[in-house]
């Protein structure tokens, strides 16, 4: 019975040598796929780090823009007040000269 089992395996292409070859081939393929996966994981990690870094930079720049806009609004308000005061002084001077 044992010899029939071995004989069946050999005739069906499942000899021990063929199985060892197949196993070695699968192990090699597995190692290649594992390496590819590790490289892809490194690339994904690098991409995630880059995205995080850019998000932080974007937030810093957004804060800077908000501060500059606020400062600009204040400067415009002060400039308008000064120009208005200067215009008022000119009007008063013109009124004095007109009298």
- DSSP letter assigned to residue 14: -
Q: What is the pTM of this model?
A: 0.59
Specify the number of domains making up the chain.
1
Residue-wise pLDDT tens for the chain (99 aa)?
555 555 555 555 568 888 999 999 999 999 999 999 999 999 999 999 999 999 999 999 999 999 999 999 999 999 999 999 999 999 999 988 887
Instruction: Please answer whether residues 43 and 49 qualify as being in contact, where contact means their C-beta atoms are separated by less than 8 angstroms.
Output: no
- Structural domain for 94, as ranges: 2-98
């Amino acid at each position: 019975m044992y010899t029939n089992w071995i004989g069946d395996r050999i005739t069906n292409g499942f000899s021990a040598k063929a199985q060892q070859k197949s196993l070695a081939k699968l192990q090699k393929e597995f190692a290649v796929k594992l390496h590819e996966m590790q490289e892809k994981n490194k690339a994904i990690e690098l991409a995630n780090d880059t995205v995080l870094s850019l998000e932080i930079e974007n937030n810093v720049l957004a804060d800077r823009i908000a501060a500059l806009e606020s400062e600009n609004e204040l400067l415009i308000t002060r400039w308008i007040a000064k120009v208005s005061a200067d215009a008022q002084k000119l009007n008063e001077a013109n009124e004095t000269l007109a009298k």
